[in-house]
Amino acid sequence: MNFEDLRTLKILEELEGPHAPSQRDVARSLDISLGLVNAFVKRLVQKGYFKVTTIPRNRVKYILTPKGMAEKTRLTCEYIQYSIQFYKRARERFSALFSELAAQGVKSVAFYGANELSEIASVSLVESKLSLVAVADPEKAGKHFLGLVVADPAFLLSTRFDRIIVTDPGAGAQASATLEAVGVPVEKILVVDPV
């Protein structure tokens, strides 16, 4: 599934509901620019996925057409297949990584990033000989995740671990810099690309 298809699916889902959101509401919900939403909506209307009505005069409502429903169904199925494949690849990648670390004598790890990828990694971790001793995430410090209280990265200095695995997909370099800045030795930091 490519990024444009994913964005199309999200916009179809947002506009389909009975609450008639504005394009501004959709932009805010999806965290994208209003201009981009406008361009996508115009394209979706041109393709016949939505019918546009104005009720009342100053409010636009988008009605999903049968063609739009078929496209949404197709994209949803494609998204589910993509998600399953991503999960399988990530699990295989983490299983291989944890086996390799165990062979190197590593006993304990920490995760940087309290997110879905950490959850996938934790499933593979349970099947390994390694133990999870901490989860650090500056934006979620204090919250509970994977049975642990999420720590601020600075807390890691008082925690004993052999490696820290960056499980925040888009923040590899930034996460490494943050960890190095709080004193985590660079040789203990592993940035993982799940796919």
pLDDT confidence tier of residue 195, bands split at 50, 70 and 90: low
Q: 185 and 102: one domain?
A: yes
Whether 99 shows a pLDDT value over 70: the answer reads yes
Domain span holding position 37: 3-64
Q: What is the pLDDT of residue 131?
A: 95
Q: Is residue 75 part of a domain?
A: no
DSSP notation for the chain: --HHHHHHHHHHHHHHSTT---HHHHHHHHT--HHHHHHHHHHHHHTTSEEEEESSTT-EEEEE-HHHHHHHHHHHHHHHHHHHHHHHHHHHHHHHHHHHHHHTT--EEEEE--SHHHHHHHHHHHTSS-EEEEEE-TTTTTSEETTEEPBPGGGGGGS--SEEEE--TT-HHHHHHHHHHTT--GGGEEE----
Q: Is residue 73 part of a domain?
A: no
pLDDT tens-digit profile of 47-89? 999 998 887 777 788 889 999 999 999 999 999 999 999 999 9
Q: Of 168, 4, 169, which Cα lies nearest the Cα of 78?
A: 4
Q: 48 and 96: one domain?
A: no
Q: 59 and 143: one domain?
A: no
Q: Is residue 26 part of a domain?
A: yes
**CATH number of the domain that residue 96 is part of:** 3.40.50.720
Q: What is the pLDDT of residue 194?
A: 66
Q: Is residue 30 part of a domain?
A: yes
